[in-house]
A and B are shown apart, each in its own frame.
Chain A
Amino acid sequence: TQLLEQSPQFLSIQEGENLTVYCNSSSVFSSLQWYRQEPGEGPVLLVTVVTGGEVKKLKRLTFQFGDARKDSSLHITAAQPGDTGLYLCAGPFQSNTGKLIFGQGTTLQVKP
């Protein structure tokens, strides 16, 4: 069974701090995605990583795909209140039906 486990589940930090969110699995994924969900809205795709060891940057957000394609991390530098939200990692089912497996999410609160 493919599972994605995220840690931590909750994170409350002050503006300007750095943080890292982890997404781990015992299964190999062809790619992993990161979504952000703001309160009262649906998740929105931030990035997809497809190559083992790949690093992608989106302004202050850095995403990394593990060499073995079993894990990924999201690092935020100098967090802002606008980064507040639920961060979800997701990966495709092995059967490639278009379905995704989601981690349980990391709720981030950045206080001014």
Chain B
Amino acid sequence: DVKVTQSSRYLVKRTGEKVFLECVQDMDHENMFWYRQDPGLGLRLIYFSYDVKMKEKGDIPEGYSVSREKKERFSLILESASTNQTSMYLCASSLFSDTQYFGPGTRLTVL
């Protein structure tokens, strides 16, 4: 079974802090994704990586950056957290096809 793990289930940070969200997958998948999920807005793609050190902006990259130094690990970085980044963050991975496997999510609150 594919397993996607995220470093924290719940996180509380203060405005202006630098925040790291980590995601690890154990199935040698090429693609990895970071989404944020807000009520009524569905899943919105923040960043996408299709190979080590390769990344592509999604629909809402502003205020975020990513890092993929190893194939199995994809990190989302909030350079200076703001209250409007309070959300559920979901990481996913996929092989070449379009089926995505999701982690359990990190609920981030920025105070």
Same complex for A and B? Answer yes
The residues of B that contact A90 with a CB separation of less than 8 Å are 98, 100
Contacting B at CB under 8 A, from A1-46, are 9, 31, 33, 40-45
B93 to chain A, nearest CB (A): 10
A100 within 8 A of B: yes
The residues of B that contact A44 with a CB separation of less than 8 Å are 102
The residues of B that contact A42 with a CB separation of less than 8 Å are 4, 90, 92, 102-105
The CA of A42 and the CA of B92, in the complex, are separated in Å by 9
Known: A88-B42, A98-B30. A41 touches B94 (CB 8 A): no
The CA of A99 and the CA of B96, in the complex, are separated in Å by 10
Binds B, one of A60-68, A74-82, A102-110: A102-110
The CA of A98 and the CA of B45, in the complex, are separated in Å by 12
B42 touches A102 (CB 8 A): yes
Residue positions of B touching A, CB distance < 8 A:
4, 9, 30-31, 33, 40-43, 45, 48, 50, 56, 58, 90, 92, 94, 96-105
Enumerate 12 A-B pairs (CB-CB under 8 Å) in ascending A order: A42-B92, A42-B105, A43-B90, A44-B102, A90-B98, A90-B100, A97-B48, A98-B30, A99-B58, A100-B100, A102-B43, A104-B40
